Amino acid sequence: MSNSYSPELPLGKRGEIKTNYPPAKVALGRENKENASASSILLLGHDTTEIEVAASGQNVAGKWLTQAVVDSSVAGTSVISAAGTANFDFMVGNNTVRRFVVPIATFSDYGSVQGVNRAEGLYPAVAFKTFAGTGSVLTAQF
């Protein structure tokens, strides 16, 4: 599988890839969830192919959500960080910023009239939960 749908990394004057830089793209959306003791769902925009996540005050667990999960009644409790029942897809350490390319959820066979996220069959949402106590989850969509 190719991730050619995500923004390109910036290039230097001599054409070299600037590997320690994020793509040169302005955020399509921004959100801050405070004290996410229960899962907080972030619906991704139709053109979102990457997200950047900052954890402040607590470690954060995240889970990519399919449209079926978003539509179900259990969507708000989809991320569990307890040891015996953990179901998260990724973690972001406290006071850390990480960037993720949105993975492919399903094969898509339709055109881009709905945006690159839907055209490529990418996950339409992601849920976050702080491990415990007080913390913030700041996200930006690209």
pLDDT in tens, 78-115: 677 666 777 889 999 999 999 999 999 886 665 555 78
**Class of domain 29-141 (CATH, top level):** mainly beta
What's the CA gap between 7 and 115, in Å, rounded? 14
- Contact indicator for 85, 78 with CB cutoff of 8 Å: no
Closest CA relative to residue 43, chosen from 55, 33, 58, 56: 33
115: left (phi over 0), alpha (psi -120 to 50) or beta: left
Q: Which residues, 6 or more positions from 7, have their beta carbon under 8 angstroms from its beta carbon?
A: 23, 24, 25, 49, 50, 142
Domain map of the chain by residue range?
A: 29-141
Q: Report the chain's mean pLDDT, rounded to a whole number.
A: 82
Q: Which of 26-35, 57-66, 78-87, 112-121 has the highest mean pLDDT?
A: 57-66
pLDDT at 1 over 50: no
Instruction: Say what the pTM is.
Output: 0.79
